[in-house]
Amino acid sequence: MRRLPVLAAVLALLGWALAAPALAHNISGKDAAFVASSAGAHIGPFLYLGAKHMVTGYDHLLFILGVVFFLYRLTHVALYVTMFSLGHSITLLAGVLTGVHVNPYLIDAIIGLSVVYKAFDNLDGFRTLFGAAPDTRLVVLVFGLFHGMGLATKLQELHLSHRGLLTNLISFNVGVEIGQLIALSLMLGLMLLWRRATAFPQQAVAANVLILTAGFLLMQYQLAGFFTHRGA
């Protein structure tokens, strides 16, 4: 019975993504108004915005959850999270600074695909169907690049001022890392408790099926947005 709150917390994240894919984690409202009107370096506010964006980004969180789901050593967790952070840091900074624009719906659809990939990998789908699995470290790095470009598209929509741009981008990226560490710490704590449950193997399969479903729904929602707006 003590494990039920742990499972409930994991299912709550999955239910959030499954039930409300339209609640995208865009920078909007007062946050968007501040970013759009800011000129010069604003380290503190951009740190906060980066952290907030990560901890409310259910697609990023689902991918991270999938990545750490069956990692039992902190050294392995550190390796995979570092690969992911390296990837999204590169494209976040490069995407905004160079002005490279990618359709946000397509990028978010690929981010949804990353969730599908990791859940499918956790279910041992690649080895079952193909006899071998891709190098997860490399795949996490590659998907990290797409996650970073997804972050970049959110900032590009706000037409940031060039004054203090690099400082603000670095601050935002550091904030993203802080938010990721907060979310990751909570996930690892919950997973540590959950893995002690005798029913964990069965529940883990069910959870990854839900993560897989959430990823497909995210892909479907973003692709529908892409085709709808392209034809508008």
DSSP code of residue 164: T
Indicate the DSSP class of residue 40.
Answer: S
DSSP string for 61-110? HHHHHHHHTT--SHHHHHHHHHHHHHHHHHHHHHHHHHT----HHHHHHH
Residue type, 205: V
* Whole-number pLDDT of residue 90: 96
Summarised one tens digit per residue, pLDDT across range 9-47 is 555 555 555 555 544 456 666 777 777 677 788 898 899
pLDDT of residue 56: 85
Q: What is the pLDDT of residue 19?
A: 52
Print burial letters for 86-101: b (CB count within 10 Å at least 16), e (below 16).
ebbbbbbbbbbeeeee
Closest-CA residue to 96 (of 190, 19, 161): 161
Nearest to 84 by CA among 144, 146, 134: 144
pLDDT tens by residue, 146-182: 999 999 998 888 878 888 899 999 999 999 999 999 9
Q: What whole-number distance in Å separates Cα of residue 66 and Cα of residue 46?
A: 27
Domain ranges (residues) in the chain: 40-224
CA dist 54 and 148 (Å) reads 11
At residue 231 the predicted structure's pLDDT band, cuts being 50, 70 and 90, is low
